[in-house]
Structures are given as structure tokens and as C-alpha cells.
Amino acid sequence: MSWVYWVKLHDSKNQAGTLAKRIEEDWWIYGYECPQTVEVFRSKKGRFGVRYIF
């Protein structure tokens, strides 16, 4: 398995955390498979993103 990265990077960890929570809880609304792990990461340029594993 490999990580799936959300396309958009965010300026704050709070924004990325909100998206991560929505992916964890609302996956069935958008037709995604249930992710096993969802995490917020920091890019080399200091912005925050979300990645997950199915």
C-alpha cells in the first residue's frame, strides 16, 4: 500500500486537520473507500497537507 496525497496544501495545521477529520468521518458521503490511516504532514516549504492509506 502507498500513501494517497490530497492535492491542496494549506497554510495552517488547523485547516489541514479539519480536512483530515472530514476524510475520516465523511468518506461514505463522497463515495470513497474507508481510509485505514489519515494524517497531517508538513511539506518542505512549511505548508500542511493530508495523506491517507486505503
Q: Of all helices (H) and strands (E), which one includes residue 53?
A: strand 48-53
Residue among 30, 31, 27 nearest 52 (CA): 27
**What are 14-33's pLDDT values in tens digits?**
999 999 998 888 877 777 77
Confidence band for 13, pLDDT divided at 50, 70 and 90: very high
Residue among 41, 32, 36, 35 nearest 10 (CA): 41
Q: Positive or negative, the Cα torsion across 20, 26, 31, 34? A: positive
CB of 10 closer than 8 Å to CB of 16: yes
